[in-house]
Structure 1
């Protein structure tokens, strides 16, 4: 079903329409309230003394000079604050998972450059920075572990003494019976080895927190930019030794997160501890250097994979080894298993893979720890699967699109060799439409003409699915000690008939104020302006898992719709009681309840709300005053699966090695799109981040463990000039088991872009007989591929 057909079917409904974003007037006119916009009387400012060595014993922290700096109010070490550690756990045996504690402030040992060692609190940010510079920290250096190869080498230094061979996670999954025999008998076996660079999620707003003690409520209030406010509350309470009731986390407007903010950081806990100790408000705002070097990073992965094919190009078996460099610590709550377990569980993706074996490992190194980043391993393993298909197509002399058609899942529901059941999707349709768009755009003819002229033009594709609506059952398969999944919602009508929605999700740019309001307004027949969303306050809703993994509309939106429906039932019951008829004989209209037997008779919501609140004396016996309803929603299947195909056209400039993207096509299917324009914004933003991974962004470390990218001079972020116009086409296969039919759209753009761009680059390099298997693809790499003799001669 197309979007146009959906809109025609539903007439004037708000769901499915690109209504303007309700957030924009506030955010675009500078009236947003971000953490750094907030202040309180007497606010102090915090910054951190950070480790200058990658690995060493912490032998002394002298803060006496710090405390003497004018304007400095206090300075604390780990021994001063005595906080509990942040420890993320998996319910797996010791051979599969090694738990490691992450202290809020380093105690006896430092494990990466930038690790927080002490917190300095001052009257203004400048005095805090001055204080940090006077700290004296003594180390006994240890040899740093700077990469996977060093980490796994015999006799390597240990990042954590309790983790042999620096291995935090080592899981072997599936191992289909007879897989070795399948490979031995296959017509063709192809192999790829792929590496992806370490990245920074780079939200526009860096991390930050403003904490204060509220004497009246007897609460520590932490205002912070997090995707998971309830988990921050849980960890803060545990680290500080407080009851959870005594901690309140409030999230104001947030300028992006992308996964970096869906784990609990150390700095916001330390700032809250300082506020609790001093009984004064304490604010910490991360500067860009710390954000680039000492914040959570992601993506550094190494794959060795092989696939067996028959003579017709059909996959017979897949065998893979996945190693993820997770940095110095496990992130909370997902642990260091977040990337290898994602890759291992879901690598077959959209393709029929009869036999499968995989090993997934997370290794510890002396680098800033890793957190989820938009897509979580899917951009990497999709790139590996697409490379295997491209290589098989070349070796079997098949068209790259045709080999994909022969392997795509087309019959649903489909249970894969990985034990996951995929709900209906449009895998084949999205590939067909993407190819048609590029052919009708004339790009195949242009490629032919370019090659005749000696130019390097290539076309690449990537097909993928994205598990979005992870419910409790899906997360439980990872054996996390903390199991996300469900979400809660409350819908409350005030005495004037307006509605406030409270949900456990947390918007950081996804337009929830618009899309959640569309869902509720449709369900109750209200004008959009009569619905207001409230998120990000742990005192307003019992518990919520926040926003990550494209879950907000699929899970949180379903809870919101259920709650709105229950409020509608209360309105109908109230009207029915006034009329003396059964509730079944009433229906919700446009802001009113109508009689089914006499549609001209109606009671408006304001009238019913006034009755419920202000004239309780007129309520039927046994009817509670007020109008509110709550609901919970969980996905009890293996999840919902959005899908897409991306197609990229690139030209390689032989003189410079620059990769220019000439065209980009995205065909996406996220089920019912609550707001198509919002979905397109998510696609474009995600594709920009995927292109950044493919061509530009990378954090490297030298032999001493020093990070290379300390500013935007070194960390190459693409601008609007490097990101092409993206043509987006929509398909719609509604989800059968979410309340809205939506599947989720947040991460898809990022997942397909690296593979599509890499495949296009390799297509352009084909006449040169060269193939690349690593990202980012730098101009030097391309130049070397196009001019191998030049580099051979220069090294003689």
Structure 2
């Protein structure tokens, strides 16, 4: 069931119109990177390290060249590419930059690290060539956990990173916080870990590169959320002007953050095409995607919270360690997860005193990239566990304890120096709980207990900072500061509209929602608007899609540009009628004279702008094209939600069955509520995956445990619950449309809600679980303890 707002003014904003992308995608006419076929195309695959840590003593590619069908094989010494290095503008005592070689040279730092590229006439010959490569290593002791990395005398992953620490920051140390803990009526602690995960987009990474002699430009088609960043890094690594590199992103089958950083393989593919002057394609296979691609999520928290006897949250103290793998990702660096957790951990609660230390630790594992939610699923899990534990110690209902501490007056500036814009924190909690009670789940839980069954109800409350502008990113002291986005809105002679955007859809329905924004602003039919994205030749610059920024920032740029175009259309019409601009207004695909109702259609006005420009007044230039940018000047916008879930634990198997899932979310103005529902449900599925299923572990030699779907457990439709989504709407004052981002919220709230429900069901056992994923073995042992 979905409760959605309805537009009352005939506007397309707030309307659940059908997705414009679907006819193409569901009929198999989508065009993805691997679909690209070019004359003379060659195929690339990578020789990868088979050890987690070692010095390369010999790399022999001569046998590779003897394999039938192999055209070339290149090592780092052959291609001589500049390292990819992401930096923060922080002292070396806080942050250590580490270059990531595009191909490993003398040192390998994780199993699967690329050492050389093999280029062949077909994919099978490329695979055979990879197998023929001969590599010898002087093995080093691998570092396979954060605890091992931080141990005294630990092997160094990077010689320049003492104590294997890439980032170490202490923030928000409120004066007198120790005294607050000493005098508090109740202090509760949580020690928790979360499993390492793969973002697992349906489409793996891939790239097709081709040199164009006519345009003197390298064209790189790739599955990326950040085409302009790929262009910047590719040009730098290859020693080319950026204008000589064009990055194109066609349809993309998911990204979830994995593709919002620059990968090494796409740069090497481009270098091979440049060198051979032939098209080269690389498509990542699933084994490499699971083991050697960017991963995420592995974090550990030691946290404690102080509460008064009346249940008021007094202080929060946390030590956060994030296992970021072997390298910093570009452009966000290894600081992305610990700094996200540090700055936003107070979440939706009033907090007088706060102290946090956060570290990014390097290990001999595939490097981490942002993954949907970026630390928020983890710290929300920690904070919500602290509230559950405090409620038990205080003898209070956990929902009531949350009520007493939720932020209710806005704007609210927290102890973390972040200002939260208006939201519906209390309203979402109340509606979620009331829905659960109205459906009878509390009564069912009591009846189940009497029957010896184990049912539990769990909640999580959270906010999601969305629409990070340059101000928010600059606070992290990033050397590369993302933020703004640019849109061009261009009307052709027929009166149809083309919208370009620097954001990049990988399933979020930009072709629909951005068209809705532009069409609503100009009074056009949706079918007359086309959205272009993912081409660095068409868009001046853009920061791509991540951090729930697309509609809030990219959509705001679209609306600004559309508004400017509407103003020009009105100016042309006013000139044709020889009246002041104030006497005309936009109508439906036309400009209307306010006094007599006369109209000039957009096509008629476009005819003047393009084909009869001599009729334009001197202050107006020919053509109908407007460009606008947008950046959030505040700390960001804050969506919020409450998740509630009901689980049943099955003795013997330890299975956790989700019986009910309710989400009450507020993302400001929902441009398309049906799209929001899809984002929410997909995010919850990924959050459930982290709570109950997905985890990559490593053996003592640094070999990953999950090399296929036989080993990496992913929830199917059978394990994914039906989700009821209820919409609240608190329009944002800082975006052009009133919209806030929503892409990550489902993932953020789900782990805590599921874990709290599991612990509620375990109440009779006396066992409490704080870490995820919760495995059947753990649940079965807990239930056996009860019996």
Distance 2:709 2:719 in 1: 16
Give the one of 83, 92, 95 matched to 2:93.
95
1:765 and 2:762 are equivalent in the alignment? yes
The number of equivalent residue pairs is 786
Give the one of 277, 280, 283 matched to 1:279.
277
1:644 and 2:641 are equivalent in the alignment? yes
Superimposed CA distance per residue, residues 74-103 of structure 1 (whole angstroms, 9 cap, x where no aligned partner): 000000000000000000110100000000
Q: Which residues of 2 match residues 538-553 of structure 1 at below 5 A?
A: 538-553=536-551
Distance 1:442 1:627 in 2: 58
1:52 and 2:50 are equivalent in the alignment? yes
1:62 and 2:60 are equivalent in the alignment? yes
Distance 1:277 1:161 in 2: 33
What's the TM-score, normalizing by structure 2?
0.99
Structure 1 partner of 2:7: 7
1:739 and 2:716 are equivalent in the alignment? no
Distance 1:347 1:622 in 2: 52
Structure 2 partner of 1:83: 81
**How far did residue 615 of structure 1 move?**
1.5
Structure 1 partner of 2:691: 694
1:112 and 2:110 are equivalent in the alignment? yes
**How far did residue 584 of structure 1 move?**
1.6
Structure 2 partner of 1:631: 628
**How far did residue 614 of structure 1 move?**
1.2
1:170 and 2:180 are equivalent in the alignment? no
**How far did residue 5 of structure 1 move?**
6.3
Superimposed CA distance per residue, residues 691-731 of structure 1 (whole angstroms, 9 cap, x where no aligned partner): 00000000000000000000000000100000111011110
Superimposed CA distance per residue, residues 176-208 of structure 1 (whole angstroms, 9 cap, x where no aligned partner): 000000000000000000100000000000000
Structure 1 partner of 2:666: 669
Superimposed CA distance per residue, residues 642-661 of structure 1 (whole angstroms, 9 cap, x where no aligned partner): 00000010000011100000
Structure 2 partner of 1:36: 34
**How far did residue 598 of structure 1 move?**
1.5
Give the one of 100, 122, 139 matched to 1:141.
139
Superimposed CA distance per residue, residues 320-342 of structure 1 (whole angstroms, 9 cap, x where no aligned partner): 00000000000000000000000
1:440 and 2:438 are equivalent in the alignment? yes
**How far did residue 623 of structure 1 move?**
2.6
Distance 1:322 1:363 in 2: 10
Distance 1:470 1:502 in 2: 21
Structure 2 partner of 1:776: 773
Structure 2 partner of 1:720: 717
Distance 1:654 1:739 in 2: 53
Structure 2 partner of 1:705: 702
Structure 1 partner of 2:415: 417
Instruction: Structure 2: state its 5+ residue gaps.
Output: none
Structure 1 partner of 2:327: 329
Structure 2 partner of 1:793: none
Superimposed CA distance per residue, residues 265-311 of structure 1 (whole angstroms, 9 cap, x where no aligned partner): 00000000000000100000000000000000000000000000000
Contact kept, 8 Å, 1:490 with 1:502, in 2: the verdict is yes
**How far did residue 617 of structure 1 move?**
2.5
**How far did residue 6 of structure 1 move?**
5.5
SS of the residue aligned with 2:417? coil
SS of the residue aligned with 1:699? coil
**How far did residue 621 of structure 1 move?**
2.8
SS of the residue aligned with 2:229? helix
Structure 2 partner of 1:494: 492
Distance 1:4 1:303 in 2: 37
Structure 2 partner of 1:794: none
Residues 1:119 and 1:4: Cα distance change in structure 2 (over 3 Å) = closer
Contact kept, 8 Å, 1:344 with 1:360, in 2: the verdict is yes
Contact kept, 8 Å, 2:4 with 2:673, in 1: the verdict is no
Give the one of 121, 129, 149 matched to 1:151.
149
Give the one of 249, 269, 286 matched to 1:251.
249
Contact kept, 8 Å, 1:3 with 1:732, in 2: the verdict is no
What's the TM-score, normalizing by structure 1?
0.98
Distance 1:68 1:583 in 2: 74
Superimposed CA distance per residue, residues 735-761 of structure 1 (whole angstroms, 9 cap, x where no aligned partner): 011000000110000000000000000
Q: Which residues of 2 match residues 302-317 of structure 1 at below 5 A?
A: 302-317=300-315
Q: Which residues of 2 match residues 373-412 of structure 1 at below 5 A?
A: 373-412=371-410
Structure 2 partner of 1:753: 750
Distance 1:448 1:702 in 2: 43
Q: Which residues of 2 match residues 584-603 of structure 1 at below 5 A?
A: 584-599=582-597, 601-603=598-600
Q: Which residues of 2 match residues 472-511 of structure 1 at below 5 A?
A: 472-511=470-509
1:575 and 2:573 are equivalent in the alignment? yes
Distance 2:4 2:705 in 1: 49
1:470 and 2:468 are equivalent in the alignment? yes
Distance 1:594 1:516 in 2: 25
Give the one of 529, 532, 537 matched to 2:530.
532
Superimposed CA distance per residue, residues 514-545 of structure 1 (whole angstroms, 9 cap, x where no aligned partner): 00000000000000001000000001111100
Distance 1:746 1:4 in 2: 17
Contact kept, 8 Å, 1:670 with 1:743, in 2: the verdict is yes
Distance 1:296 1:274 in 2: 22
SS of the residue aligned with 1:87? coil
1:606 and 2:603 are equivalent in the alignment? yes
**How far did residue 596 of structure 1 move?**
1.2
**How far did residue 784 of structure 1 move?**
1.1
* Root mean square deviation of aligned Cα: 1.0
Contact kept, 8 Å, 2:765 with 2:785, in 1: the verdict is no
Superimposed CA distance per residue, residues 580-606 of structure 1 (whole angstroms, 9 cap, x where no aligned partner): 11112110000000111122x010000
Distance 1:618 1:448 in 2: 79
**How far did residue 668 of structure 1 move?**
0.3
**How far did residue 789 of structure 1 move?**
8.7
Distance 2:617 2:331 in 1: 48
Distance 1:127 1:475 in 2: 45
Contact kept, 8 Å, 2:765 with 2:786, in 1: the verdict is no
Give the one of 122, 129, 132 matched to 1:131.
129
Distance 2:548 2:372 in 1: 9
Distance 1:543 1:693 in 2: 34
Superimposed CA distance per residue, residues 553-606 of structure 1 (whole angstroms, 9 cap, x where no aligned partner): 00000000000000001101111111111112110000000111122x010000
Residues 1:626 and 1:385: Cα distance change in structure 2 (over 3 Å) = same
SS of the residue aligned with 2:762? helix
Residues 1:204 and 1:4: Cα distance change in structure 2 (over 3 Å) = closer
Structure 2 partner of 1:366: 364
Structure 1 partner of 2:785: 788
SS of the residue aligned with 2:684? helix
**How far did residue 611 of structure 1 move?**
1.2
Q: Which residues of 2 match residues 257-296 of structure 1 at below 5 A?
A: 257-296=255-294
Contact kept, 8 Å, 2:327 with 2:367, in 1: the verdict is yes
Distance 2:580 2:145 in 1: 70
**How far did residue 3 of structure 1 move?**
7.8
**How far did residue 782 of structure 1 move?**
0.4
Contact kept, 8 Å, 1:3 with 1:16, in 2: the verdict is no
Contact kept, 8 Å, 2:5 with 2:673, in 1: the verdict is no
Distance 1:642 1:346 in 2: 13
Distance 2:393 2:552 in 1: 41
Superimposed CA distance per residue, residues 379-425 of structure 1 (whole angstroms, 9 cap, x where no aligned partner): 00000000000000000000010000001000000000000000000
Distance 1:427 1:671 in 2: 12
**How far did residue 624 of structure 1 move?**
1.3
